[in-house]
Amino acid sequence: MSAGGRGDRQQLLLAGVGGQGVLTTAKILGDAAHRQGLHVVVGEMHGMSQRGGSVTCTVILGGRRTSFLTGPPDTFVGFEPLETMRTLHLLGPETRGLVSTGSVSPVELTRTGAEYPSLEGLVEKIHAVAPLLRTLDGPQLAEREGSPWSLNVLLLGALAGLGELPFSAEVLYGAVEKRCSPRSLEDNERAYRAGLAWAKAQSASTGRGVEHG
Amino acid sequence: MAERVTQLPMASAPLDPLLVEGGRTDCVLGNEAIVRGALEAGVAFACGYPGTPSSEVTDSFARLSAAHGVIFEYSVNEKIALEMAFAASLAGARSIVAMKHLGLMSAGDPLSTIPYVGVEAGMVIVSAGDPSCHTSPNEQDQRHLGPMLHLPVLDPSTAQEALDMTRFAFELSEACRLPVILRPTARVCHSRATVTFGPLQPSKIGGFQRNPSRYTPIPFNARRMRLEIEDRLKTATALLAEWGALRCEGQGRSVVLASGAPAAVCADLIAEAEGATQVAVWTLRAVYPLVEEALVQRLREVDRVLVVEELSAYLEDAVSAICSRHGLTIEILGKRSGHLPLAFEYTPRHVQQALHDALGVGSAPSEERPPAQVTPRPPVLCPSCGHRAAYLAARAAFDDDQLYFNDIGCYTLGYGPPLNTVDALLCMGAGFTLAAGVSRVTGKRTVGFLGDSTFFHSGMPALFNAVKERVNMVAVILDNQVTAMTGFQTSPGTQHPASIEAVVRALGVEQVETVDPFELPTAVAAFRRARDAEGLSVVIAKRPCPVHDRRQHPEQAVTLYRVDQARCGHCGQEDEGRRCGQSPNEAFARSLARAASSQTREVSCQGPGVAPCTLRCPLSLCIQGYATNIAAGHYENALEHILSRTSLPESVCRVCDRPCEDVCVRKKSGGAVAINDLKRFVVSKTQGRSQRPFPEPLPKNGMRVAVVGAGPAGLSASHSLALRGYSVTLFDARDRPGGLLAWAIPSYRLPQAALERDIARILEAGVRFEGNTALGRDVTLDGLFEQGFDAVYLAVGAARSRRLELEGAEAPGAPKVTYALAYLEEIHTRAGAETRSQISRAAIQTRRAEAPPPSRVGSGQAVVIGGGNAAIDVARTLLRQGADGVSLACVEAREDMPALPEEIQGAEEEGIAIHTGVRPLRLEAGAIVCVPITGAGPELRLNATEVVLAIGQEPVLEGLACRGAPLARTDDGLLSVDPQTGRTSAARVYAGGDLVAGLRTVTGAMGWGLRGAWGIDLDLRGQVVADRLTPPSLQSDAAEAERWAEAFSVPAEQRQEHAELEGERRRRTYAEVAQVLSEAEAQAEAGRCLGCGLCGNCSVCIDVTGCPAIKLEEGRVTIDAVLCTGCGVCTTVCPNQAIVPVLTGSGVL
């Protein structure tokens, strides 16, 4: 299964805020790749990210030894608009993937009495660099499913649904299950399905076929 | 000493991913690969101290030790961990110990001697490096420990290598009897990669074989051991060479020599470089001892070596030395040649550039796009973190210039605004030692913070050092009962129920308090006590880590919070642009004071918008603002609250009729808050202390205003106009300013010195006083405009006494009749004449305060007619002038007398007889005869040599005209003005005070003055400018205020009453009767204020907490429902009770 014709070597970049589940998402992607029989390196340079700081992770599929990005990632998952802006210089015109538009206001912004920048303006800037990125209001979708803490799983569902990954939605969901606590399994399943459904609606509206899922 | 062999886990048990059989592959973290490698080597003992990026090594052992039978512990610190692992090795157990790079330095003592003694079973030390200081205060290069302490050092570049190397390291260690350092860097530790597992080995424990000379490095033995080390290193070198410490890939005369994480980067880049490269890649997997022979052999075949290593030029220098020793002339490139950076982690870009520049391999990296400018998002304390609450409490208790020293852990996040609780930081345990050292040399009382895990790690010796030196400091232990920063490892204090407080006491600390920081007022009080104590005080702020707690108890219900927008950020006055301008910390102090009074006293309803007292105050003073500042001990701020609306603080705090206290919600529960006494306390406490002028006048605007009449209304108007930038000339018929305050109110109520301080402040603001200038006699309204004044403010007051002609005044022996104002003025004038002849100012003040002016009446009986304050003033003055007896008669019933109740009471206490409900009928020889107002009842004959009539005054308005037209009057014969602005019927003529209708009180007159100044500014410069200093609101409906007083239900708590002078000194001198509250009384009294109004100058929740769950949306404060975890600390911080619970649900992350 190829994603966008790029073969099995694929670089993914995830960016978000500590607490949004970025690290868990990277782990799940690593597990899924492993289940699919792909060599994978996942970079989790998390530092103090658990305390609401910026956090990025890389997932490098196919034969590399290091977790560094070399060149723009093939796939990007932005968990938050400002964090997407922070990594925007790493992205490129060919980068596909998702940006969740639900914002998490940095404490520094609130403290100085400044407002979060306009979402339209941010999306415009993001698309100027990476026009193929799709946007979705992840937190709102997750909230609608009654699982506001499952944003990361929802984004994974959406990513799988869009066909951006070299493994099936089933393999990915298997990896999700492995990393979930039993009590959050139901929430996560709903969130994963909501992500898949969102992707299906996207491809229906844009006419772009969902390649698997 | 029987050999122990653990069983491999049963196949049926749920298998830990690291315990699967050999031959399987999995995607695991570098740190987990290390653990698997150790298990494949049959490790029997594991320990360490958590520290990023090493923590997952110990965490994995913690998780699987029970299932696999590895003996594990989180040791209390790294030194102990290293010693434990060494002891295990001596006892025949393969051991592994893990820590971060700098942790190993704190174990330097045992580390440097272990190679001498040598190990028995294999011992591996994982010392995880952190190039680029991702999570560390330094990026030291651990490889140097190899040559320095004779320790083999292995340097893995990938997760798979980490696994294989760890397994090998045990063999190496056992073969050469040296512990082996495994030095993965963060890139390896925290990369998750596909790894192939080898077979697991059961762990064996051989037991300790007694051999004292082998294990005891006394100097005699140590010298022998030193030489043995050289043999051990030779063994190690041989084994390393055999193992393949130098791995060579590719062919070429140019070589890349790399170790650690950069070796993997080089391999990837060269594998992906376009076209065939004539470059060999050599990876040095062991960086000490170097396999010199293998290296030399290879080096003879090449021309150029690019050394790619992070941190220091360790290998580059070593290879240069080898070449030099062996006479090889090879180009050695790397850091020293400038091809690679001296510091930080190498990214592929760095290496790509160096490969291209040094060896001509591949292409130079394309130009990097600069990152966008985005608001930084550093890590912050989590929502519900107890450390935040503890910091809030400390900041509220200590002054702003307090020095704070901090430590390594989550609490490091107190760095920077808004918490600002890190002035310096060094390493584990140094929070206390830094505080102690600075205190010892500066004498300042310092504060040191550290956490519970750090306390056991190295805080105990630091604290005991401070105990023994009797250091003047406050040591704070932030006890969240877990090692949170590194991943919620068990803290020694939770694993064993050792009470930190008991340990602290056992160390000899006497002043110890344990508080729950979520009980903010209690915690603040504890910090205040620690602040005020001497010597060493310890505060233990104990609150479980919320994240850990929630993981432990996911079922626990959480109350979340939201912001009630109707109460947030309003004080009811902000629509008029009024904001008190206090700093967030002051606002926070107010919130805390409010929290203290409401929490401990269970206020049963939410407060009104504007506090009733402020509603009723003619000056709209923010009374809760200064009361809560007094309660917090912030007297300067309290004074600023008062000065912001009060031109005459010294006078008003003595003579105000206090309508505020009438509506205080405390009135029914122990009495109204003694608002005026609080004001007087602040004014007295801060006298001469304020360093800066407040409020500061705005720059001169070039316009001139004449104020006629220098009583409270005129003074107030003049001051406010001067602050607004007007040039003000203040005229008065008398020779000095003050009006009634100066020549009618007796100095036992208002000492002249106090009034003079008020007047001095007003004149200092730029008001020019011209005395002896009477309206109508010396100046006219038209004349003032001709002089070039842009506006005139009239405040000449009610100068004419109401007359009463009494029958019998001409009778022989009839008492002499005078009028109150004339009498009081004469007394004042005499006193003034008397004292003006004195030389020293101090003497004047003493004289004025103490000595009665020369007697006018002398002995004899005096009777005062009237029931107002002037009547009481006259009566009490007569007493002080030496009258044998004074009585007072008035038409009103006792409860209807206009005089202040305490004035009436004061008069009675001084022996003045008060006859109510009677009116004077006639004068007789030596007496005045009164009759009951009802007409029924006998005549009342009062002996009198003097009678003073105090039956009211009225303004003199005859002839008051401007530009040919008389000023319009009301039906009552007063000046007709706009109540908001004081504007009269004549253009640019304003008036206030007793000239116009309204409150006939000093404070009321001052309110008129402030409104008049605003009105003039509005007229001359427009609303935008005028509103920079807004006037007090007009009195609102008292009923609303009273409704609130009804609605509040608070337990009674007795009001603090000020002391009063007693005895002869009181009755016969002019010494001030009412005394100032003591500091303790004032604080207690201020603490009674419920702060029941809202506070509009407020973003306290944002400004002081820095909680990530609180944010601004479209200008409004909101709480993020996902981020909030329901600690409720912000509800205490909010002065408006605007943060309210929303729902009960589980906030599971």
Please indicate if any CB of chain B lies within 8 Å of the CB of A74: no
Say if the Cβ atoms of B193 and A41 lie within 8 Å: yes
Please indicate if any CB of chain B lies within 8 Å of the CB of A57: no
- Whole-number pLDDT of residue B82: 98
Q: Which residue has the tokens 């291209």?
A: B356
* pLDDT 10s digits, B1050-1089: 667 889 899 998 888 888 888 899 999 999 999 999 988 8
Task: Check if the beta carbon of residue B624 is closer than 8 Å to that of residue B597.
Answer: no
Count the Cβ atoms, other than its own, within 10 Å of residue B400.
Answer: 8
Task: Check if the beta carbon of residue B162 is closer than 8 Å to that of residue B182.
Answer: yes
Say if the Cβ atoms of A89 and B371 lie within 8 Å: yes
The 3-state secondary structure of B991-1018 reads ECHHHECCCCCHHHHHHHHHHHHHHHHH
pLDDT, greater one: B392 or B1149: B392
Please indicate if any CB of chain B lies within 8 Å of the CB of A64: yes
The C-alpha angle with vertex B143 and arms to B141 and B146, in degrees rounded to 5, equals 140
Q: Average pLDDT of chain B?
A: 88
Q: What is the mean pLDDT of residues B893-904?
A: 90
Q: What is the mean pLDDT of residues B60-71?
A: 92
pLDDT tops 70 at residue B271: yes
- Whole-number pLDDT of residue B355: 94
Task: Check if the beta carbon of residue B740 is closer than 8 Å to that of residue B798.
Answer: no
Count the Cβ atoms, other than its own, within 10 Å of residue B19.
Answer: 17
Which residues of chain A are within 8 Å of residue B1114 when distances are taken between CB atoms? 115
Please indicate if any CB of chain B lies within 8 Å of the CB of A7: no
Say if the Cβ atoms of A49 and B379 lie within 8 Å: yes
Task: Check if the beta carbon of residue B811 is closer than 8 Å to that of residue B923.
Answer: yes
pLDDT tops 80 at residue B572: no
pLDDT tops 90 at residue B695: no
Which residues of chain B are within 8 Å of residue A53 when distances are taken between CB atoms? 377-380
Please indicate if any CB of chain B lies within 8 Å of the CB of A110: yes
Please indicate if any CB of chain B lies within 8 Å of the CB of A86: yes
- Whole-number pLDDT of residue B1134: 82
Q: For residue B411, give every residue at least 6 positions away whose Cβ sits within 8 Å of its Cβ, in sequence order, or none.
A: B387, B391, B421, B449, B450, B451, B478
Say if the Cβ atoms of B1148 and A85 lie within 8 Å: no
**Gap from B414 CA to chain A (nearest CA, Å):** 12
- Position B785: which residue type? F
pLDDT, greater one: A52 or B893: B893
How many CB pairs (< 8 A) connect A and B?
172
Task: Check if the beta carbon of residue B535 is closer than 8 Å to that of residue B511.
Answer: yes
CA B912 to CA B904: how far, in whole Å? Answer: 9
- Whole-number pLDDT of residue B704: 97
- Whole-number pLDDT of residue B851: 47
- A208 is written with which tokens? 């772009």
Q: State which residue of chain A sits closest to B373, comparing Cα positions.
A: A86
- Whole-number pLDDT of residue B1145: 47
Say if the Cβ atoms of B1112 and A43 lie within 8 Å: no
Out of A39, A53, A114, closest to residue B194 by CB: A39
Strands B965-966 and B304-308, sheet pairing = unpaired
Say if the Cβ atoms of B377 and A83 lie within 8 Å: yes
Which residues of chain B are within 8 Å of residue A88 when distances are taken between CB atoms? 371-372
Say if the Cβ atoms of A108 and B1149 lie within 8 Å: no
Please indicate if any CB of chain B lies within 8 Å of the CB of A49: yes
Out of A26, A53, A65, closest to residue B377 by CB: A53
Q: What is the CA B1075 to chain-centroid distance, rounded?
A: 34
Say if the Cβ atoms of A115 and B1112 lie within 8 Å: yes
Q: State which residue of chain A sits closest to B555, comparing Cα positions.
A: A183
Say if the Cβ atoms of A148 and B1122 lie within 8 Å: yes
* Phi and psi based region of residue B830 (left: phi greater than 0; alpha: psi -120 to 50; beta: remaining): alpha
Task: Check if the beta carbon of residue B97 is closer than 8 Å to that of residue B48.
Answer: yes
Global pTM value? 0.78
**Which ipTM was obtained for this model?**
0.93
Q: What is the mean pLDDT of residues B550-569?
A: 85
Say if the Cβ atoms of B192 and A27 lie within 8 Å: yes
- Whole-number pLDDT of residue B1037: 56
- Whole-number pLDDT of residue B42: 97
Instruction: Give me the sheet containing B331-333, strands edge to edge.
Output: B246-249, B279-284, B254-258, B304-308, B331-333
* pLDDT 10s digits, B474-532: 999 999 988 888 888 888 877 776 689 999 999 999 999 999 999 988 898 899 999 99
- Position B86: which residue type? F
Interface test with A, best of B272, B377, B1099 (most A CBs within 10 A): B377
- B69 is written with which tokens? 């039978």
The 3-state secondary structure of B727-774 reads EEEEECCCCCCCCHHHHCCCCCCCCHHHHHHHHHHHHHCCEEEECCCC
* pLDDT 10s digits, B155-169: 999 999 999 999 999
Picking from A209, A175, A176, the residue whose alpha carbon sits closest to that of residue A190 is A176
Q: Which of residues 121-140 of A touch B (CB under 8 A)?
A: 125, 139
- B273 is written with which tokens? 């470089």
* pLDDT 10s digits, B843-861: 334 444 444 444 444 457 8
Please indicate if any CB of chain B lies within 8 Å of the CB of A19: yes
pLDDT band at B881 (very low <50, low <70, confident <90, very high): confident
Count the Cβ atoms, other than its own, within 10 Å of residue B1063.
Answer: 7
**Gap from A208 CA to chain B (nearest CA, Å):** 31
Q: What DSSP line would sit under B836-862, residue for residue?
A: HT-S-HHHHHHHHHHSPPPPSS-SSEE
Q: Output phi, psi for B247, to 5 deg.
A: -105, 125
Q: What is the mean pLDDT of residues B137-148?
A: 96
Q: State which residue of chain B sits closest to A82, comparing Cα positions.
A: B374
Strands A54-61 and A40-43, sheet pairing = antiparallel
* pLDDT 10s digits, B916-963: 999 999 999 889 999 998 888 888 999 999 999 998 888 888 888 999
Q: Output phi, psi for B811, to 5 deg.
A: -60, 145
CA B494 to CA A45: how far, in whole Å? Answer: 29
Q: What is the mean pLDDT of residues B56-63?
A: 96
Q: Exposure of B242 by Cβ count < 10 A (0-12 exposed, 13-18 middle, 19+ buried)?
A: exposed
Task: Check if the beta carbon of residue B349 is closer than 8 Å to that of residue B365.
Answer: yes
Q: What is the mean pLDDT of residues B274-291?
A: 88
pLDDT band at A190 (very low <50, low <70, confident <90, very high): very high
Task: Check if the beta carbon of residue B1128 is closer than 8 Å to that of residue B1110.
Answer: no
HSE-up of residue A108 (Cα within 13 Å, Cβ side) = 13
CA B437 to CA B427: how far, in whole Å? Answer: 14
Which residues of chain B are within 8 Å of residue A139 when distances are taken between CB atoms? 1122
CA B181 to CA B129: how far, in whole Å? Answer: 12
Say if the Cβ atoms of B376 and A51 lie within 8 Å: no
- B879 is written with which tokens? 């007493």
Say if the Cβ atoms of B187 and A45 lie within 8 Å: yes
Q: What is the mean pLDDT of residues B337-362?
A: 94
**Gap from B992 CA to chain A (nearest CA, Å):** 42
Task: Check if the beta carbon of residue B871 is closer than 8 Å to that of residue B820.
Answer: yes
Out of B264, B368, B378, closest to residue A66 by CB: B264
Q: State which residue of chain A sits closest to B1118, comparing Cα positions.
A: A110
Q: For residue B965, give every residue at least 6 positions away whose Cβ sits within 8 Å of its Cβ, in sequence order, or none.
A: B985, B986
Say if the Cβ atoms of A52 and B418 lie within 8 Å: no
Q: At what angle do helices A169-179 and A185-206 cross, to 10 degrees?
A: 150
Say if the Cβ atoms of A70 and B269 lie within 8 Å: yes
Q: State which residue of chain B sits closest to A114, comparing Cα positions.
A: B1112
Out of B194, B377, B1149, closest to residue A34 by CB: B194
CA B554 to CA B547: how far, in whole Å? Answer: 10
* pLDDT 10s digits, B367-393: 888 999 999 998 899 999 999 999 999
Task: Check if the beta carbon of residue B1081 is closer than 8 Å to that of residue B564.
Answer: no
Task: Check if the beta carbon of residue B476 is closer than 8 Å to that of residue B538.
Answer: yes
Please indicate if any CB of chain B lies within 8 Å of the CB of A85: yes
Please indicate if any CB of chain B lies within 8 Å of the CB of A39: yes
- Whole-number pLDDT of residue B156: 98
CA B1069 to CA B1103: how far, in whole Å? Answer: 52
Please indicate if any CB of chain B lies within 8 Å of the CB of A78: no
Task: Check if the beta carbon of residue B457 is closer than 8 Å to that of residue B489.
Answer: no
